[in-house]
């Protein structure tokens, strides 16, 4: 059992105010470690920054005054952003949870108390609120588990590269695993 995020996202506090929320995308990508804030899918598998969205945590369609508020923006894969859409449990932007329905900002430590990953990378809800988020964002899709596994392979390749040094067998294994990784990435793109 582990947290959904490999590295917990954290928004930078010193971001200059912009007039268009799309102008924050590079900063958000950095703050969210190039991963979806909700499911932690690496943007590498969906075309990088170009393939990812910016989600308005409190929906822009309901709370237009928050359109360019950096603290309301989340770097998101298109699957989570489209699934969440403009769903919100209240008529108040600051009331993000009503009973067991609503959303937790992925940058909040509380997020990890409601969802986790099992040993195979599957996202599992651990509370009723987590179940709501899990269902609404379709976190049960196998794609999230597969992208997590690809990430595990990438980490192993990086570790192998560190220890391979001059060992010909390890260097050959590293090359073969790198080729496998490239094939996986090409199929996803």
Based on the domain organization, do 94 and 162 belong to the same domain? no
Based on the domain organization, do 43 and 125 belong to the same domain? yes
How many independent structural domains does the chain possess?
A: 2
* pLDDT reported for residue 84: 98
Which of 140, 162, 177 marks a domain boundary? Answer: 140
Domain holding 159, by residue range, is 144-188
9: in domain = no
Cα–Cα nearest to 40, from 185, 148, 131, 116: 148
* pLDDT reported for residue 173: 74
Residue 145 has pLDDT above 80, yes or no: yes
**Strongest mean pLDDT among 86-90, 116-120, 149-153, 181-185:** 86-90
Based on the domain organization, do 136 and 160 belong to the same domain? no
Based on the domain organization, do 104 and 175 belong to the same domain? no
Per-residue pLDDT band for 169 (boundaries 50, 70, 90) equals confident
Task: Answer yes or no: are the C-beta atoms of 18 and 67 closer than 8 Å.
Answer: no
> Out of 12-16, 38-42, 44-48, 185-189, which region has the weakest mean confidence (pLDDT)?
185-189
Based on the domain organization, do 25 and 105 belong to the same domain? yes
Residue 40 has pLDDT above 90, yes or no: yes
pTM here is 0.86
Based on the domain organization, do 151 and 175 belong to the same domain? yes
Based on the domain organization, do 67 and 123 belong to the same domain? yes
106: in domain = yes
Cα–Cα nearest to 107, from 160, 57, 156, 163: 57
Based on the domain organization, do 136 and 148 belong to the same domain? no
4: in domain = no
Based on the domain organization, do 128 and 54 belong to the same domain? yes
Measured over all CA atoms, what is the biggest interatomic distance in the chain, rounded to whole angstroms? 63
3-class SS of residue 53: strand
Summarize the chain as % helix, strand, coil (round to 5). Answer: 50, 10, 40
Task: Give the tens place of pLDDT for each residue, 85-141.
Answer: 999 999 999 999 999 999 999 999 999 999 999 998 999 999 999 999 999 999 999
């Amino acid at each position: 059992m582990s947290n959904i995020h490999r590295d917990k996202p954290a928004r930078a506090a010193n971001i200059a105010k912009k007039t268009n929320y799309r102008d924050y995308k590079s900063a958000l990508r950095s703050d969210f470690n190039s991963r979806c804030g909700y499911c932690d899918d690496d943007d590498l598998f969906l075309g990088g920054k170009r393939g990812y969205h910016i989600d308005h945590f409190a929906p822009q369609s309901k709370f237009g005054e928050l359109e360019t508020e950096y603290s309301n923006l989340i770097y998101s894969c298109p699957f989570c952003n489209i699934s969440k859409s403009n769903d919100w449990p209240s008529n108040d932007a600051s009331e993000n949870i009503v009973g067991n329905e609503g959303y937790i900002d992925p940058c909040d430590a509380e997020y990890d108390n409601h969802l986790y990953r099992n040993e195979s990378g599957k996202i599992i809800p651990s509370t009723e609120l987590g179940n709501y988020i899990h269902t609404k964002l379709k976190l049960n899709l196998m794609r999230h588990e597969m992208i997590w596994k690809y990430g595990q392979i990438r980490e192993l390749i990086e570790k192998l590269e560190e220890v391979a040094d001059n060992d010909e067998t390890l260097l050959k294994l590293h090359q073969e695993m790198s080729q496998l990784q490239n094939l996986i990435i090409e199929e996803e793109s």
